[in-house]
Structure 1
């Protein structure tokens, strides 16, 4: 058996890992879109390090675009196998991949109007998404599912976003049984909405994420206190706007849920709150359709408040005209908008309009690739180019990594506790080299015998 790392190798996006069994059967774990502007990765989304037509099946860990965003491209280029996912991941993919296709089509149209002699095709289109969704097989948590005669699959709740899961494969070949694991993105314990991450069965080989392998997040009590302080200073004291760029799926719903709790407790200032993302609006509807993913706290909360994603003063925005009108408002407000890295979507437009006003605040609540506007601001940029114009960063900048849906180094360690007795080789992916090296040191210290940090395209015999 071989494993080849075809994405998210010393990178945080573009997850794709290829297993080839001894009889030639191929299993692709995730098929994500690279999100960023690294020149060395400019062709990543257009090409595969394998022949899509020769992939036998695809197993998805969760619905985020950096894990699923190239699936329609895979189908467009010849893949016809089964796509395994949890039921909630399948539901989210139906809207997220269509949204991604519309972005691909719109970007191609925009480019072609300005470059009529050098036209380009979208990565995929809406029809490719329709064809893709027909290949999905929905799977429950905690039950072994037959992939083929000698391969079984089990999903366990990873607590990262709705429907997220770790992947365990039980593979029979020759005279041995191999248990192969992929953590997907590991969530965090004691977070709103979702259940805590469930530990995986013991495995022989493991692919593990490492996004925050070199840092610790704020603890929960400090988080709420800090969040309220930021809202108070931005919207009450400075009478400005608070922009929270957030991923449409997961982060947005968590922030809305926390604001809903603050509103019920009488702690939220009486200011408008806008969720300005059509995808987030649709995703929130899907959240309401999958209570099997809720934690016990949310189940109890629903007895008091039957709509944890709605409160007085909250408006969900779909139409472009309504989004533009927010920029013309003079009064304080909170704007939750995608994309989370501010490299596309409506959050980029809000950033353009807000960045040079010192009354305003930008609250960064998740990872952003270094080359994106969010990443540059996170790293201390005093100015950046947006829509062809240079803008100074005069707005206040706050960071709250405690909102991250990714486990920190101690939470990763706890998630893996016990595996050190079984794992023969552990591969760190979905992280940049510094966090990976830091996490590799920690895991080696606690007993993992062989920790690898693969490069893009690197292949290992198992």
Structure 2
């Protein structure tokens, strides 16, 4: 089995893997790089050339995993497209939103290639999305050989899946993006354990992040609620930047529960954007499956409000409250970025990050800025001293590095390939795996170079 990382930049970005197993060829994910623009944000699909693609396996619906899917499917009209049922219900909405974002960026940033695909392109491929049930096995036959694929619940976000592949006497497990802990809205990963695999392809997102001793998801939720309560008591507002898929619905549920049981006082709660549309999809998914714990009742009980449209940097919003807004990394010109510019200069407010922030994004840069130092909102040509309380809470949708390492080693694979991680994250996994009790061949694949999984 040969695997080629089609993400030309490596690291975390335009996630896509080309997998060749005897007469079978398939692709895992087709994303867009969140920090690049135009054609440079895409995987290098030219590397696939004219190969016949049997199927595309979509692990989940974050745009760094599906953002270039319409382009790949245009180039390979015969390829089947496989994903979980929740992902199949979400993927079109996510891709249509990506069209809207690209159109706006074309106008604002003058990116000539945008949009990379249109709403009509998304509609043309919609009937090709095939839902798989978790634990369902699908078989492919060609040239007297068989390849089987089984999807498993991966936590992380609604519909996320890891999967195992069996071919020619070998077994390989792809984790995808994984979270083992249960969340308020979805259950954690339900991977096959204990089970032996010959090889594994694992995500390494949090390989560079060491969780302090005694810190748990429950303790971080408790600390977050304490920060929100203290901020409200001193007359301030709270911004919680969130990812539209997964994190917003999780926070809406958490805040609603905390208000109902008295852990938080009743106050205005604000939400906006794609995340609220996705919340409606969560309601539909929960009615069709037992995989999501969310309903429209949550927003009604919160009496969710829209934030004011006209916001001026440095001037606080007219109404105090809790603002749950995307993007999770304060990407420029998003609702969270706009609101942060109104809150940051005032000491009674708080900005609470609850997920991964790339160091190069405005959110990542803000987390590195100390109180009293100057922070620049470049899109607004506005700067201010950091006076608001800025905190990070370990509530990531990705599993801790120790958890992934333990899962991988328990399967006793002969080979482990590292994906979806920055260099320091991959270095940590490499070092730990090289010190493992049983011998493991570790592959950190160079971009666009085919690597043999089995020697």
Matches for 1:296-311 after TM superposition, within 5 Å: 309-310=298-299
Change (3 A) 1:21 1:188: closer
d(CA) in 1 for partners of 2:30, 2:173: 17
Residue 145 of structure 1: aligned partner: 138
d(CA) in 1 for partners of 2:331, 2:49: 29
Change (3 A) 1:222 1:33: same
1:235 aligns with 2:232: yes
| TM-score (normalised: structure 1) | 0.86
d(CA) in 1 for partners of 2:394, 2:298: 20
Q: CA deviation at 1:143?
A: 1.4
Matches for 1:404-419 after TM superposition, within 5 Å: 404-419=396-411
d(CA) in 1 for partners of 2:384, 2:393: 24
Matches for 1:44-443 after TM superposition, within 5 Å: 44-45=41-42, 47-51=44-48, 54=51, 55-112=53-110, 119-149=112-142, 150-171=146-167, 176-200=168-192, 201-214=195-208, 215-216=210-211, 218-237=215-234, 239-277=235-273, 279-291=274-286, 292-294=289-291, 309-310=298-299, 312-315=301-304, 317=306, 322-324=308-310, 329-344=317-332, 345-380=334-369, 382-420=374-412, 423-443=413-433
Q: CA deviation at 1:393?
A: 4.6
1:187-226 per-position Cα deviation (integer Å, ceiling 9, x unaligned)? 1323322222112453222110011124227313422321
Unaligned runs of 5+ in 1: 113-117
3-state SS in 1 of match to 2:47: coil
1:27 aligns with 2:17: no
Unaligned runs of 5+ in 2: none
1:74-126 per-position Cα deviation (integer Å, ceiling 9, x unaligned)? 234455411100000111112111101111122123345xxxxx944412111
Of structures 1 and 2, the one scoring higher in RCO (CA 8 A, sep 6+) is 1
| TM-score (normalised: structure 2) | 0.87
Contact 1:15 1:67 in 2 (8 A): yes
Q: CA deviation at 1:405?
A: 0.8
Change (3 A) 1:436 1:180: same
1:43-90 per-position Cα deviation (integer Å, ceiling 9, x unaligned)? 242743524763332101111111111112223445541110000011
Change (3 A) 1:340 1:86: same
Contact 1:272 1:333 in 2 (8 A): yes
d(CA) in 1 for partners of 2:118, 2:233: 45
d(CA) in 2 for partners of 1:249, 1:379: 25
3-state SS in 2 of match to 1:268: coil
Contact 1:271 1:313 in 2 (8 A): no
Residue 449 of structure 1: aligned partner: 440
Contact 1:145 1:153 in 2 (8 A): yes
Q: CA deviation at 1:322?
A: 4.6
Matches for 1:5-44 after TM superposition, within 5 Å: 5-7=5-7, 10-23=10-23, 25-36=24-35, 43-44=40-41
Change (3 A) 1:8 1:202: farther
3-state SS in 2 of match to 1:436: helix
> Larger deviation: 202-211 or 384-393?
384-393
